[in-house]
Amino acid sequence: AQKVTQAQTEISVVEKEDVTLDCVYETRDTTYYLFWYKQPPSGELVFLIRRNSFDEQNEISGRYSWNFQKSTSSFNFTITASQVVDSAVYFCALSEPKDFGNEKLTFGTGTRLTIIP
């Protein structure tokens, strides 16, 4: 069975500091996808990244970067030079493609990030 663990329940940092959100996953499949979503106070789920299990390259998008390490089953997310607008709950998620491409998402419990001005 698939499982996603986000051990950090809440993190607070001062604006402009860097912050890393941890995500550890469990799966028996060799083909899977990892995701990060942002949930601002308004409640919607904002897609940040989707990474397949065969692509271990780190990715950078502006102030965001992701570190995927299969050896430790981790997919960590770093925000550089944090801003108040980054305050939100961040969810890591995992999907395992099934028949005909069905991909149910399993979410972690989320990390509430607060950026202090």
Q: How far is the CB of 22 from another protein (least distance, A)?
A: 15
101 near another protein, judged by CB under 8 A: yes
- Of 54 and 71, the one with the shorter C-beta distance to another protein is 54
- Cβ atoms of residues 110 and 45 within 8 Å: no
Residue 9, φ and ψ in degrees, nearest 5: -80, -45
Q: Sketch the per residue contact string, 24 through 43, with another protein: x for CB under 8 A, - otherwise.
A: ---------x-x-x-----x
Q: Give CA–CA dist 77/104, Å, rounded.
A: 22
- Of 54 and 117, the one with the shorter C-beta distance to another protein is 54
Look-up of token digits 């995701």 = 35
> Can you read off the two tokens belonging to residue 70?
């299969």
- Of 42 and 71, the one with the shorter C-beta distance to another protein is 42
Q: Give CA–CA dist 110/105, Å, rounded.
A: 14
- Of 49 and 80, the one with the shorter C-beta distance to another protein is 49
CA-derived radius of gyration, the chain: 14
Binding site for another protein (CB under 8 A): 33, 35, 37, 43-45, 47, 50, 52, 91, 93, 97-110
